[in-house]
Amino acid sequence: MTAAESAETTSREQETSALKGFDTQRAALYTVLLGLIAFYLSPLWGGLTTAFKTDTGFLQTTPLIPPTPEWFTLEPWELALATMQGGLVNSMLFVVPATILSATLGSLAAYGLTKLSWRGQVGILVIFLAGVFLPYQSVLVPLRQFWSAVDLAGLLAFAPFLANRADLIELTITHTAYGIPICTILFRSYYKTMDDEMIEAAKIDGASAFGIYKRIVLPLSMPMFAVTLIYQFTQVWNDLLFALVLVTARSNYVVTQSLNELQGSMAQQYNIQMAGAFIAALPTIIIYIVFGRQFAQGISGAS
Amino acid sequence: MDFDIRRLLDRIRRRRTDTEQNGERSVRTDGGTTTERSGRFSKMRHSDAVQALPFWLPPALLMGLFVYGAISWNLLISLTDWSGLEQPVYTDLSLEMYTQMPNDPSFVAAFRNTVVLLVAFTVVSLLIGLVLAILVDQNIRFENTFRTIYLLPMALSFVVTAIFWSWMYNPSTGTINVVLSGLGLDFLTMNWIGDPRTRLAAIIFALTWQFSGYAMVVYLAGLRAIPDEHYEAAKVDGASSFKMYWRVIVPQLSTATTSAAVVLMVFALKAFDFIFVMFGDTPGRSADILAVMMFRVAFSRTQWAYGAAVATILFLMALAVVGPYLYMQYKRGDL
């Protein structure tokens, strides 16, 4: 999408449209839309240009201007990546299981709800819904108390690899628990529209409740799994608050934590900060660009 | 799997023709809810409820422990006077943490800022989202591309956007000031996040940038649900575009507005990550919000009980926003 393309659009409409006023209106519309694109992309654009500039480069030029060959460098990316490598790995280690677990449990819960009478469904649904809107601050102190009482690292002492990663396992369980409500809501709204003739028929066939879930409901849920997994992955990957409270060992810092640290330690090094921000955002940006439709479906279903 | 489904479909078809031939019942469109409650049927329903338990109960228990268990525990902690490194004592409970709030200037400031942020951020995001939705809804070319870009910031972490915006707001080389002076508006350039007077407004502006795309998505769905005749009728009446939208279209978007507003308000209550990355846990009186204050009081100063009390206030605010909304949805049968 470029200015040239939209100019072409309006000029073609000029030929076909009889009304002159209409054309200027269309041109104004596209101008406004492109102006808004410039606004929405400006923080990313300014970050991207800065990340490729040397220290003197980003201080002497404005962020609007791309780096000139004289000031071009990849060093900020190398430095940021070196600091955040561990964080990226740790995030992957806990975000993927947390996402899959909460989506699966959400799907199971939503399937269970469809088997209840409407009254029972709504009652349980409200209990789940409240969890979607919960401000996480209101559970932070108990959460810290709970996990220090459980002492997961001690329980896992027999397997040093797991014990060293206890913080990440805590994060996985915590994010799974708080992800269940939204996943249940998303799947439930999907199952509500599902044709239940097929399920009735399977029931007459003598299939068990779990058999119906496995053979009919689960295969039909794949589009919703895509939506839920994408929504949850983005949410959990982007979170900082739970990690701040639960992750104590530096070796277990997740990506948002290491980016936050990078920002603190490189206070004036905006080029390194920007490169770090892009590295941390890259997985979510890629997912967003590839699965934009599912992402939009997830966030609008979440309301 | 394919085979199973095909066999089932066959069976359904056969069953349908059976009932049609017997003329007993017409094709059901109500999902079977109006079937007579014969003995056998109610037994089936009952066993359904039992069969459903293993599916929804374990997730509900895990969630319930972390959500409702934790909220109750938090409430209990807020009634103690727990602070420092020792363990809480649950025997001597009082409302002391709550009664000291009105006399704590930093709580009052954080509460006021939270309300300002909540209202301003929600209203501005809704307005911008509405404008975006109307613009995108004009049968434009490359609609998907436009929509994707407006919604993009929503996919980013607060940590990432906070870093982008601290650079945007940089007083000497930041994009905002560079653009302003480029437009000859030098008098408007300032140290946006350094100056306490503009700090909260700067935060609200950046958050609006991040979330107005969400409002757009919700409004766009609302606009698409309005029948074309309404537009046509307004045009025949000779209403100008602005009047048409204001008088005819916008009133029909009230459902979209409510649900978007509720979600945005909850986002505002959760804006912790953004402010924490930009300013650390002490953003100063001018930009402190309850979410940040709670974290500072509890986790930096180890005044656990007071932090828990602030958290309870935050929870009650969320409940005040969401409670009526859920009740409304329940009444309308939208749940």
ipTM of the complex: 0.87
Per-residue model confidence as pLDDT tens digits over A255-278: 999 999 999 888 889 999 999 999
Distance from the B35 Cα atom to the nearest Cα atom in chain A, whole angstroms: 13
- CA A259, distance to chain mean position in Å, is 16
Which residues, in sequence order, are CB contacts of A44 under 8 Å at separation 6+? B152, B164
**Selected residue with higher pLDDT from B207 and B181:** B207
Residue B276, chain A, CB below 8 Å: the answer is yes
Q: Which of A127-136, A251-260, A278-287, B200-209 has the lowest mean pLDDT?
A: A127-136
B160 in reach of chain A (CB within 8 A): yes
* Model pLDDT, residue B162: 95
- pLDDT of A98 reads 96
Q: What is the full DSSP assignment across B121-187?
A: HHHHHHHHHHHHHHHHTTT-TTHHHHHHHHHGGGGS-HHHHHHHHHHHT-TTT-HHHHHHHHTT-GG
CB-based burial label for B101 (10 Å; 0-12, 13-18, 19+): middle
Question: Which 8-state DSSP code applies to residue A215?
Answer: I
Using a CB–CB cutoff of 8 Å, tell me whether B262 touches chain A. Answer: yes
Angle, vertex CA A86, rays to CA A84 and CA A92, nearest 5: 100
Distance between CA atoms of B132 and B148, rounded to whole angstroms? 12
Cα–Cα nearest to B157, from B256, B246, B277, B43: B277
Q: Are A141 and B307 in contact (CB under 8 A)?
A: yes
Specify whether the CB–CB gap between A116 and A184 falls below 8 A: no
Burial of B5 (0-12, 13-18, 19+ CB in 10 A): middle
Chains A and B: how many Cβ contacts under 8 Å? Answer: 319
| Residue B28: pLDDT over 60 | no
> What are B114-131's pLDDT values in tens digits?
999 999 999 999 999 999
CB atoms within 10 A of CB A60: 11
* Residues of chain A neighbouring B166 (CB-CB closer than 8 A): 263
- Contact between residue B269 and residue B118 where contact means Cβ atoms under 8 Å apart: yes
CATH architecture of the domain with residue range A75-301? Orthogonal Bundle (1.10)
From the CB of residue B35, how many other CB atoms can be counted at a distance below 10 Å? 11
Token output for A213:
């879930």
pLDDT of residue A46: 93
CA A135 to chain centre: 18
Q: What angle do CA B43, B12, B41 make, to 5 degrees?
A: 10
Q: By the 8 A CB rule, do A125 and A114 touch?
A: no
User: Is B33 near chain A, with CB under 8 Å?
Assistant: yes
What lies within 8 Å, CB to CB, of B61 at 6+ separation is: none
Main-chain phi, psi angles of A72, to 5 degrees: -75, 135
CB–CB contact A33 B135 (8 Å): yes
> CA B69, CA B79: separation in Å to the nearest integer?
16
Q: What is the mean pLDDT of residues A207-219?
A: 86
Q: How far is residue B166's CA from residue B172's CA, in Å, rounded to a whole number? A: 12
The pLDDT tens digits of the residues spanning A225-266 come to: 999 999 999 999 999 999 999 998 889 999 999 999 999 888
- Say whether pLDDT at B326 is over 90: no
Paired with A72 in beta bridges are A53
Distance CA B174, CA A63 (A): 7
Contact between chains at B31 and A196 (C-beta distance less than 8 A): yes
- Residue B57 forms contact with A (CB below 8 Å): yes
Is the CB of A137 less than 8 angstroms away from the CB of B291? yes
Whether pLDDT at B224 is above 80: yes
Contact at 8 Å (CB) between B283 and B292?
yes
Contact with chain B for residue A138, Cβ under 8 A: yes
Q: Which of B25, B55, B78, B111 to mutate to test the interface with A (most CBs of A within 10 A)?
A: B55
**C-alpha distance from B55 to closest chain A C-alpha (Å):** 5
Calpha distance B131→A22 (Å, rounded): 19
Q: How far apart are CA B128 and CA A200, in angstroms?
A: 47
User: Where do the domains of chain A lie?
Assistant: 3-71, 75-301
- Whether B64 contacts chain A with CB within 8 A: yes
**Which residues of A are less than 8 Å from B135 in CB distance?**
29, 32-33, 36
Residue with tokens 């009482």: A149
pLDDT at B208 over 80: yes
Q: Which domains does chain B have, with CATH numbers?
A: 130-164+200-332 (1.10.3720.10)
User: Looking at A118-132, A223-237, A249-263, B191-205, which range is the least confident one?
Assistant: A118-132
Compute the distance between CA of residue A186 and CA of residue A191 in angstroms, rounded to an integer: 9
